Structure 1
Amino acid sequence: MIQKRPPGYRPDFLPPDPTAPTPVPTGHRPAVPMTAFRPPAPLSPPPAIEAPTEDARPHRAGRRRGTALVATCVVLSVLAGTGTAYVLDQTDIGPTGDSTRAAVAGAGAGPRATEYAAGRIVPSVVQVTAGRSAGSGFAIDSAGHVITNHHVIEGQESVTLRLSTGRQVPARVVGSDPAADIAVLEIRGSAPAAAQLGTGVPLRTGESVLAVGSPLGLSGTVTAGIVSAVDRRQTTVGAGGMIQTDASINPGNSGGPLVNLDGQVVGVNTAIATYGGQRSGNIGIGFSVPIDRAMQVATRIIAEN
């Protein structure tokens, strides 16, 4: 049987017939012819950027926000019990006396510096329980004297201390100075090793420090940060300029030591700034009484009692 070829058939090996019309597939419409391409109109030049007027400069708004922030910050006496709340405003906080000096590395600087410092200070740190209040402290001599904050032991004559070994020992309140927020305790029985004190040691902004204590009852807790300011003037907590640090300080750290990377105590952790309420945690703004002032107060208290 001979198969008939359709009209216009050409073998595949022959080139197509240029005179043959282009077939239109059944059921499809021919493509819409493309219109001629027109380049887009040139872009107009960007508007000129003018310097803002004095009233609209961003730093003015920043100052307003900063003032509002400071006004809403609350400095909490950092203890895991009853505490006094202090409100900071722009009159409470003043300029720092040494905020522009560059930080210098201490003798303990190095990859394992924080471990070295923590190892030196932790055995001297105690957890303080005074009635419904709790805080921290550290031994300052071989006679069993311990420094803590006044607000930790306020209204108490005797307290209980938990040593770094876990042993609990009784202690009596030797005396305290509410204005400086410093108190001295005396351990009854064997005392822990005295901390190395950094009295007379220069402290510089940007220097690395550790805060050691019992935040939320977690004894022997070590946190790290830097010195944010060395002479932060504020009138509500302690007397005189305070050390500001971003080392994490929380309720229960009150009375614990702030130490440099040589393991020397440079301050007594006393308060934090936070947003609304005594249950708020650390936001990176803590305050410590400088060790030189704390020791002057402690020496006087011991001598008078």
Structure 2
Amino acid sequence: MTTTQDFPAMSGSLQEPAPFWRRRTGTVVTSAALVAALFGGVTGGVVGALNASGGGVAAVSSPVALNASSTSDVSTIAAKVLPSVVQVNVRSGQGEGLGSGVVLTPDGRILTNNHVVAGAQQVTVTLSDGRTVDAAVLGADASSDLAVVQASGVSGLTPAKFGDSDRVKIGDQVVAIGSPEGLQGTVTSGIVSALDRTVTVPGTSTGRRDSSVSYQAIQTDASINPGNSGGPLVNAAGEVVGINSAIYSPASDGGQAGSVGIGFAIPSDQVQQIVNRLS
């Protein structure tokens, strides 16, 4: 049985990247040092705390887990999962931003992070085939940082398959798929670095910081960047074992967070317990 692992003190911050906002007037200033924004465009985001270590968390992309290391294995997994990964586009009073999402049903029910859609006035979804359609938030749970949206007028989408996150092992290879910096369909690979990491980030329910959110996460070194939040973490069988939601960023005077090889995903077992009531 795995035990909960706490982070040692770090000089940077764990971040739950709020949407990567675009504004005509310029960049949206974040509330903390370095933020990995969830959306493609200009900087934006929310910084959280990493237990008592003084670190912070940024929500971002989602990784896909593999058991084999060859390029052919990665490409096979990517080909299988890409049709089930979408880009979630959001417009709010802050501007425009984007994140990632996972297809749940053929008729367009899509899973993403709550912080991707919190405070959204308008939501659209860009499918893997390039079509962009209107969408509406069906349900959101700020306490778990998960949300479900419904795309309008679609059918025949490819739902992702969910696996058992309890079977994930340290050292398993992973691949992240999402829209970092708005580059839809980007694939990166790495390994599962640790399990049961306690991650605590500031909550978002209406686009502002609320009470903190904590969960036991899968840690990975798969490259995760702004725009990846809400994407899938899948195993070698192409099953989703996590939803990427946060990254660690070194201390900085400001600017946009990028991957330093420490990312976190909400385990699929936790996700499945919540998704049904959000739908």
Greater C-alpha radius of gyration: 1
Q: Return closer, same or farther for 1:200/1:227 CA change in 2, 3 Å cut-off.
A: closer
Q: Single out whichever of 245-254 and 183-192 deviates more from structure 2.
A: 183-192
Structure 2 CA distance for aligned equivalents of residues 92 and 170 of structure 1: 40
SS at 2:193 equivalent: strand
In the alignment, the residues of structure 2 paired with residue 76 and residue 190 of structure 1 have an alpha-carbon distance, to the nearest angstrom, of 30
Name the aligned partner's letter for residue 279 of structure 1.
Q
Report the equivalent of 2:208: none
Aligned pairs for 1:132-171 within 5 A? 132-156=96-120, 158-171=122-135
2-side partners of 1:258 and 1:235: how far apart?
A: 19
1:118 corresponds to which of 65, 73, 78: 78
SS at match of 2:222: coil
Please state how far the C-alpha of 1:72 moved relative to its aligned partner.
Answer: 2.7
1:259 paired to 2:259: no
Among 288, 291, 296, the residue aligned to 2:268: 291
Structure 1 alignment gaps of length 5 or more: 1-65, 94-104
1:156 deviates by 1.8
Aligned-residue identity in percent: 41
Provide the secondary structure at the position in 1 that maps to 2:167: coil
Measured after TM superposition, the shift of residue 146 of structure 1 is 0.4
The structure whose residues are more often strand, as a share, is: 2
Displacement of 1:90: 4.3
- Structure 1 stretches (4+) deviating beyond 4 angstroms? 89-93, 108-111
Q: Is the 8 A contact 1:92 1:235 kept in 2?
A: no
Query: For residues 214 and 13 of structure 2, what CA distance do their matches in structure 1 show?
Result: 20
Say which SS state the counterpart of residue 82 (structure 2) adopts.
helix
CA contact under 8 A between 1:83 and 1:151: conserved in structure 2? Answer: no
Residues matched between the structures, number:
223
Question: 1: distance between equivalents of 2:268 and 2:215?
Answer: 12
1:25-44 correspondence to structure 2 within 5 Å: none
Once the two structures are TM-superposed, the CA of residue 154 in structure 1 deviates from its matched residue by 0.5
- Equivalent residues of 1:135, 1:152 under 8 A apart: yes
Equivalent residue, structure 2, for 1:272: 247
Tell me how far apart the structure 1 counterparts of residues 13 and 218 of structure 2 sit (CA, whole Å). 17
Distance 2:257 2:165 in 1: 34
- Name the SS of the counterpart of 2:214 in structure 1: coil
Match of 2:38 among 71, 75, 79: 79
Which of 155, 160, 182 pairs up with 1:217? 182
CA gap 1:199/1:299 in 2 versus in 1, 3 angstroms: farther
1:87 positional shift: 3.6
Task: Read off the aligned partner of 2:45 and give its amino acid letter.
Answer: G
For 1:188 and 1:122, how far apart are their aligned partners in 2? 20
**1:76, distance to aligned residue in structure 2 (A):** 4.0
CA deviations on 1:112-168 (whole Å, 9 max, x unpaired) are: 211111011000110111112210001012342100011110012541111111111
> How far apart are the structure 1 equivalents of 2:199 and 2:15?
11
8 A Cα contact 2:16 2:201, kept in partner: no
Higher mean C-alpha displacement, 233-242 vs 123-132: 233-242
Taking the TM superposition and a 5 Å limit, the aligned residue runs for 1:30-69 are 67=9
> For the residues of structure 1 that align with 2:219 and 2:260, how far apart are their CA atoms?
12
Counterpart CA distance in 2 for 1:278 and 1:265 is 32
SS at match of 2:162: coil
Q: 1:287 to 1:278 in 2, by over 3 A?
A: farther
Q: Distance in 2 between matches of 1:272 and 1:92?
A: 14
User: Tell me, what secondary structure is at the counterpart of 2:76?
Assistant: helix
Secondary structure at the counterpart of residue 99 of structure 2 = strand
**What TM-score does the superposition give when structure 1 sets the normalisation length?**
0.68
| In structure 2, C-alpha distance between the alignment counterparts of 1:111 and 1:157, rounded to whole Å | 41
Give the conservation status (yes or no) of the 8 Å contact 1:74–1:273. Answer: yes
Distance 1:258 1:290, change over 3 A: same
Q: How does 1:97-108 map to 2 (within 5 A)?
A: 106=67
Could you say what secondary structure the match of 1:296 adopts? helix
Larger RCO (alpha carbons 8 Å, 6+ apart): 2
Partner of 1:88: 50
Cα distance in 2 for residues equivalent to 1:182 and 1:245: 19
